[in-house]
Amino acid sequence: MRDQYGRDICYLRISVTDRCNLRCVYCMPEEGVAWMPHSQILTYEQITQVVEAAARLGVRHIRLTGGEPLVRPQLYRLVEMVKGVAGIESVSLTTNGVLLAQQLSQLRLAGLDGVNLSLDTLDPQQFAAITRREGLLPQVLEGLEAAADTPGLTVKVNCVPTQFNEDQVVPLARLAQEREISVRFIELMPIGLGRDRHGLSQEQVMERLTDAFGTPVPCANPKGAGPGTYVTFSGFAGRVGFISALSHQFCHQCNRVRLTADGHLKTCLQYQDGVDLKPYLADGVSPTALEGALEQAMYHKPVGHHFSTQTQAGDEKHNMNQIGG
């Protein structure tokens, strides 16, 4: 369906949990967080009901995220349920990769189409400093290898470049030199703990890449729709992408909405706007009412974010692990 500004809303990002096995400095506080009570978290059946309603409205692509989606038991069941919904064309996963190697074959059998693996550094000490967990980088790299070796699976590496890991821009981009994957640099957004940190802009990243690899050659987004812009370099098997919400705002072509683990449909990353879908998932409520609530909220999706200006009433107060990124 089209929203009030004519944007085709075809992508739903679903957070399946707020829990995580890492504590990335720009995402979760060190001291921990008050978890959503289990009773508030949508069941796989309820999530599937939302996907069915969304698909009837034209949503075609689903991404599962979190918190860390792979800490939720039997995630492959949800992949299978959602992939089976009429109209859904792709189901992908955004993960920190710690549990990926051990779950990948089950997820793939269930119909998983793509994996975005978040990886900010290839340096074990830096990894421990950013994620506040020791010794897990080898497991993440094992997950990346397993994903890259899976025929037909779309694999992207997502890095948030900040003052912590600026020396990693070139080593991470090299992953796309050797393999047919996309390595993407995502500008840090001023949401939750991201407000307290300083991220690198697309231009700053590009400067480092050009110094190392020469002139970039623009190329197509590997999957068509999406906010990323892509380049490649001479001798690269894959691509380097940029998702630059601050320096290259893409709200006018935003095609997505988000579902939090406790059933709130968020229509823009920056605002609390949206609708609580829980009441529409109760026994005895008709699927038409759920579809109507979704349609109303999607139609009223805000025109865009205002990351570069002062915070306003109604801005998102949660951390990224509670929103899904």
- Can you give the binding site for ligand SAM, defined by CB under 6 A? 20, 26-27, 65-66, 68, 94-96, 118, 158, 160, 186, 188-189, 191, 194, 320-321, 324-325
d(Cα 243, Cα 183) in Å, to the nearest integer? Answer: 11
> Whose Cβ is closer to ligand SAM: residue 117's or residue 277's?
117
Instruction: Answer yes or no whether residue 28 interacts with ligand SF4 by CB under 6 A.
Output: yes
The listed partner (ligand SAM, ligand SF4, none) that binds 241, CB under 5 to 8 Å by sort, is: none
Out of 15, 42, 44, 68, which residue is the one contacting ligand SF4 (CB under 6 A)?
A: 68
Angle between helices 137-148 and 124-131 (to 10 degrees): 100
> Whose Cβ is closer to ligand SF4: residue 226's or residue 325's?
325
The listed partner (ligand SAM, ligand SF4, none) that binds 121, CB under 5 to 8 Å by sort, is: none
Instruction: Answer yes or no whether residue 67 interacts with ligand SF4 by CB under 6 A.
Output: yes
Out of 51, 81, 320, 323, which residue is the one contacting ligand SF4 (CB under 6 A)?
A: 320
d(Cα 245, Cα 237) in Å, to the nearest integer? Answer: 26
216 φ/ψ angles, rounded to the nearest 5 degrees? -75, 145
d(Cα 147, Cα 8) in Å, to the nearest integer? Answer: 30
- Helices and strands (DSSP H and E) totals, the chain: 10, 12
Instruction: Answer yes or no whether residue 321 interacts with ligand SF4 by CB under 6 A.
Output: yes
φ/ψ bin of 58: left (φ > 0), alpha (ψ from -120 to 50), beta (otherwise): left
Instruction: Answer yes or no whether residue 187 interacts with ligand SF4 by CB under 6 A.
Output: no
> What separation in angstroms does the CA of 93 have from each of 15, 75, 107?
10, 10, 10
| CB 61 to ligand SF4: min, Å | 20
Chain residues in the site for ligand SF4 (CB under 6 A):
20, 22-24, 27-28, 66-68, 96, 118, 320-321
